[in-house]
Amino acid sequence: MVDQVRSMESRVGRKNQRYGPKGERLVAGVVPLSADKSLVLMIQSSGRGGWVLPKGGWETDEGSAQQAACREAWEEAGVICTVLKDLGIIPDMRPSTLLTATAPKASYQFFEVAVDREEDRWPEMHKRKRQWVNYTQAAAALACRPELLEALNRSSVKR
């Protein structure tokens, strides 16, 4: 298989963003697991500094949410991954008081992925750290992000 050319530039802005039937932003993400499924790879949130799962907008030039999720894994975590399982659609669980013009309601589609390679250089390496953690650590870090915690819980990470 020919390795796809990966850009060292992160996509920014929302002009190519896909939206659902109710105006919700379509977001694709990954739950990256170690080969033995005992660890999950988390990244530092660019905004709040906490630890999150790689995710971002599914754009109009991407044929599938799976493709968008793997692109986000590359841009944010510097990993080349293979989708193992579709974890389904997870609704936005934030209270309406936390929704803003720059953070509108979203619909999340997550995929469990195997990490094939971790690169030393990736598009967002200067603004995000990454770390492998066990389920307990990941669940604690995601406690204030119920949609991300739900994705983790739908995955086959060892608890």
Residue 109 · residue 26 · CB < 8 Å? yes
Give the torsion sign (CA, 11, 14, 16, 20): positive
Residue 109 · residue 69 · CB < 8 Å? yes
CA–CA distance, 39 with 114 (Å, rounded to integer): 11
Task: Decide if pLDDT at 104 tops 80.
Answer: no
Establish if 17 belongs to a structural domain: no
Establish if 129 belongs to a structural domain: yes
- Mean pLDDT score, 11-18: 76
The reported pLDDT for the residue numbered 4 is 53
**78 Ramachandran zone, left/alpha/beta (phi>0; psi -120 to 50):** left
CA–CA distance, 81 with 113 (Å, rounded to integer): 6
Residue with tokens 């841009």, as numbered in its chain: 75
Establish if 122 belongs to a structural domain: yes
The reported pLDDT for the residue numbered 1 is 40
pTM assigned to the model? 0.89
Establish if 1 belongs to a structural domain: no
CATH number at residue 68: 3.90.79.10
25-73: pLDDT as tens digits:
999 999 999 999 999 999 999 877 799 999 999 999 999 999 999 999 9
Establish if 4 belongs to a structural domain: no
Structural domain count, the chain:
1
Domain that holds residue 123: 25-152
Establish if 159 belongs to a structural domain: no
Establish if 146 belongs to a structural domain: yes
CA–CA distance, 89 with 13 (Å, rounded to integer): 23
Establish if 13 belongs to a structural domain: no
